C-alpha cells in the first residue's frame, strides 16, 4: 500500500521483493547472540511445503470438522500431538492463505501465488459469517492481501460484503462493535482489545465504496476502546462488557490473560498494532500517541525478557518460569516496523523489531521438518483456559512473515504498508 493513500488496495505494489533464494539478515541490537541471524526464505518455504503436505494428509483422513464443515487450513498442534486443521468458520482461517500471499510477495514464485489463490477462494462464504468480530482476520488477511498483490477485482465485492457483515455488530448505544455472542449469562456486550485488528477492513471499505459509514464506525470503535480498555500505564484490559441499554461499562475482565487486572501479552500486542494502523488510516495524532504509549509500556516493562519475546502474561505468577508467547512477539515486531515510520524515535523502534526477529529466527523457530512444518514454535493461545499452550500457531507464522516483509521494504526505502 502507498503512504499517500495507504488504505487503498488498488495501487500496484512492488510484488516481487526478491527471488526464492533471498536471505534476510536481521541485525540484533543486543539479542541472545549479539550477532546477526540469517533467515533463509528458501528454508522457510521448504518448511511450509512440509506443512502443506501434512494438511492434505490430515484432510484426507478426516475431511470434516465437528460441525460437518470442510476442513481447510492448519491452526496448531493438538494436545495429543496431532495436527489441527480447521474449517473456514474458525477465527484463524484467514492466516494460512495470508501466509501463502506473503511467501509470494517475498519470492515472486507462482507456486505460492497458486496456493494463496486456492486457499483464499475456500473462504468466500465467510463474507456472510457474522457470528463474531473476526471477519477482518478471516477476510482481510486472505482476500485483502490477495487484492493488494494481484489486483483481482473479484475480491472486491467479497471484501465489501465482509465489511457490511462486520458493521452489523456495531451498537450506536455502546459505540463499539460487539466481539462475541457467547457467555451471555456473564456478558451483555463484550468488546475485546483484539477487535482493533478488524478495523482495517472497515477503513478499506470506505476508501473503496466512498461510503463513510465504515470509517466512522471504525473511528468510533477505536475511540471507545482507547477510553475504556486502557489503564493509566497504557496496559490494556482484555474484555470490557457494556450495558446494552445505557452503553455504560458493566465490568472489565480477562478471557485469555492471567487475571482481570493483569496484562495479557497478546492483548497488548493487538492494541499496539491496532492503534498504529488506525493512525495510518486516519492521521489522527491521538491514535499515534496511543500507539507510542503502548509501545513504551511494552518495551520498558521490567518483566520483558532480554530477547524481547514476552511471557504469555506480564503478570503471570511463575515468571521467569512461565511460557513465552511467540505470537505476541511477532505481532509486536510487525507493529513496531510500521510505528517506526511515524515517530521521532523510529530508529530505536526498528532496532527493537529487528531484535525480536533475531530472537524468533535463532531461538524459537521450529527445527527443519518438525512441528508438522509450522515456522515458529512456543506460542500460547489461551493458558487461562488451558488451551494451545506452548505450541505453534498459524497467526504467529503470519505476523512473523509480515514482519519480514516490512523489514525488507524498510531496507529498500519502500513504504512499509
194 is catalytic: yes
What per-residue confidence (pLDDT) applies to 38?
63
Q: How confident is the model at residue 39 (pLDDT cuts 50, 70, 90)?
A: confident
| Domain spans in the chain, listed from the N-terminal domain onward | 42-411
Active-site annotation holder among 52, 134, 313, 354: 134
Checking if the pLDDT of 22 tops 70, the result is no
Q: How confident is the model at residue 347 (pLDDT cuts 50, 70, 90)?
A: very high
Segment 164-171 mean pLDDT: 98
Contact 299, 314 (CB under 8 A): no
- Give kind and range of the element (H or E) at residue 58: helix 41-61
What per-residue confidence (pLDDT) applies to 16?
39
Q: How far is CA 310 from CA 37, 80, 319, 333, 345, in A?
A: 20, 26, 10, 12, 22
Residue closest to 136 by CA, chosen among 190, 107, 98: 98
Checking if the pLDDT of 294 tops 70, the result is yes
Checking if the pLDDT of 272 tops 80, the result is yes
What per-residue confidence (pLDDT) applies to 289?
98
Contacting residues for 261 by C-beta, under 8 A, at least 6 apart = 315
134 is catalytic: yes
What per-residue confidence (pLDDT) applies to 3?
34
Segment 322-349 mean pLDDT: 98
What per-residue confidence (pLDDT) applies to 9?
41
What per-residue confidence (pLDDT) applies to 14?
38
Checking if the pLDDT of 33 tops 90, the result is no
Average pLDDT score over the chain: 92
Please tell me the distance from the alpha carbon of residue 109 to that of residue 280, in angstroms, as a whole number.
Answer: 30
Q: How confident is the model at residue 24 (pLDDT cuts 50, 70, 90)?
A: low
Checking if the pLDDT of 177 tops 80, the result is yes
Q: How far is CA 274 from CA 93, 118, 180, 368, 403, in A?
A: 20, 28, 18, 33, 15
Least confident span in 16-20, 237-241, 262-266: 16-20
State pLDDT tens for residues 92-136. Answer: 999 999 999 999 999 999 999 999 999 999 999 999 999 999 999
Checking if the pLDDT of 164 tops 50, the result is yes
Checking if the pLDDT of 212 tops 70, the result is yes
Q: How confident is the model at residue 205 (pLDDT cuts 50, 70, 90)?
A: very high
Q: How far is CA 100 from CA 32, 44, 109, 143, 145, in A?
A: 30, 11, 10, 12, 10
pTM above 0.85, yes or no: yes
For the domain bounded by 42-411, which CATH number is listed?
1.50.10.10
**Residue 253 in 3-state DSSP?**
strand
State pLDDT tens for residues 240-266. Answer: 999 999 999 999 999 999 999 999 999
Q: Which residue's entry shows cell 457470528?
A: 131
Checking if the pLDDT of 228 tops 70, the result is yes
State pLDDT tens for residues 75-84. Answer: 999 999 999 9
Burial class (CB in 10 A: 0-12, 13-18, 19+), 375: buried
Active-site annotation holder among 194, 307, 313, 354: 194
Residues in the chain: 417
Amino acid at each position: 500500500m502507498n503512504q499517500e493513500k495507504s488504505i487503498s488496495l488498488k495501487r500496484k505494489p512492488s510484488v516481487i521483493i526478491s527471488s526464492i533464494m533471498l536471505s534476510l539478515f536481521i541485525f540484533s541490537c543486543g539479542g541472545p547472540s549479539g550477532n546477526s541471524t540469517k533467515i533463509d526464505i528458501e528454508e522457510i518455504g521448504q518448511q511450509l511445503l512440509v506443512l502443506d503436505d501434512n494438511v492434505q494428509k490430515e484432510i484426507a483422513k478426516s475431511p470434516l470438522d465437528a460441525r460437518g464443515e470442510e476442513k481447510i487450513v492448519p491452526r496448531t498442534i493438538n494436545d495429543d500431538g496431532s495436527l489441527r486443521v480447521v474449517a473456514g468458520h474458525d477465527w484463524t482461517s484467514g492466516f494460512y492463505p495470508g501466509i501463502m500471499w506473503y511467501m509470494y510477495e517475498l519470492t515472486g514464485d507462482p507456486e505460492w501465488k497458486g496456493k494463496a489463490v486456492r486457499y483464499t477462494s475456500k473462504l468466500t462464504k465467510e463474507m456472510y459469517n457474522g457470528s463474531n468480530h473476526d471477519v477482518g482476520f478471516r477476510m482481510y488477511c486472505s482476500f485483502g492481501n490477495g487484492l493488494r498483490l494481484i489486483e483481482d477485482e473479484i475480491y472486491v465485492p467479497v471484501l465489501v460484503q465482509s465489511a457490511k457483515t462486520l458493521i452489523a455488530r456495531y451498537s450506536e448505544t455502546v459505540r463499539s462493535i460487539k466481539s462475541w455472542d457467547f457467555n451471555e449469562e456473564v456478558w451483555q456486550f463484550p468488546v475485546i482489545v483484539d477487535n482493533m485488528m478488524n478495523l482495517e477492513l472497515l477503513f478499506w471499505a470506505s476508501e473503496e465504496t466512498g461510503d463513510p459509514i465504515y470509517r466512522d464506525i471504525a473511528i468510533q470503535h477505536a475511540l471507545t476502546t482507547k477510553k475504556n480498555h486502557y489503564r493509566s500505564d497504557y496496559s490494556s484490559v482484555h474484555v470490557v462488557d457494556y450495558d446494552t441499554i445505557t452503553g455504560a461499562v458493566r465490568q472489565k475482565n480477562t478471557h485469555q490473560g492471567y487475571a482481570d487486572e493483569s496484562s495479557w501479552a497478546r492483548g497488548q500486542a493487538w492494541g499496539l498494532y491496532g492503534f498504529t494502523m488506525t493512525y495510518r488510516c486516519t492521521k489522527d495524532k491521538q491514535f499515534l500517541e496511543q500507539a507510542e504509549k503502548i509501545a513504551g509500556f511494552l518495551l520498558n516493562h521490567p518483566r520483558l525478557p532480554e530477547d524481547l519475546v514476552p511471557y504469555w502474561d506480564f503478570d503471570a505468577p511463575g515468571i521467569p518460569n512461565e511460557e513465552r508467547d511467540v505470537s505476541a512477539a511477532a505481532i509486536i515486531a510487525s507493529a513496531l516496523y510500521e510505528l517506526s515510520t511515524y515517530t521521532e524515535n523510529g530508529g530505536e523502534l526498528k532496532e527493537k523489531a529487528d531484535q525480536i526477529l533475531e530472537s524468533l529466527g535463532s531461538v524459537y523457530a521450529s527445527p527443519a521438518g518438525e512441528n508438522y512444518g509450522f515456522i515458529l514454535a512456543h506460542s500460547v493461545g489461551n493458558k487461562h483456559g488451558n488451551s494451545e499452550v506452548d505450541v505453534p500457531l498459524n497467526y504467529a507464522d503470519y505476523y512473523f512473515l509480515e514482519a519480514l516483509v516490512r523489514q525488507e521494504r524498510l531496507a529498500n526505502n519502500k513504504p512499509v504498508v
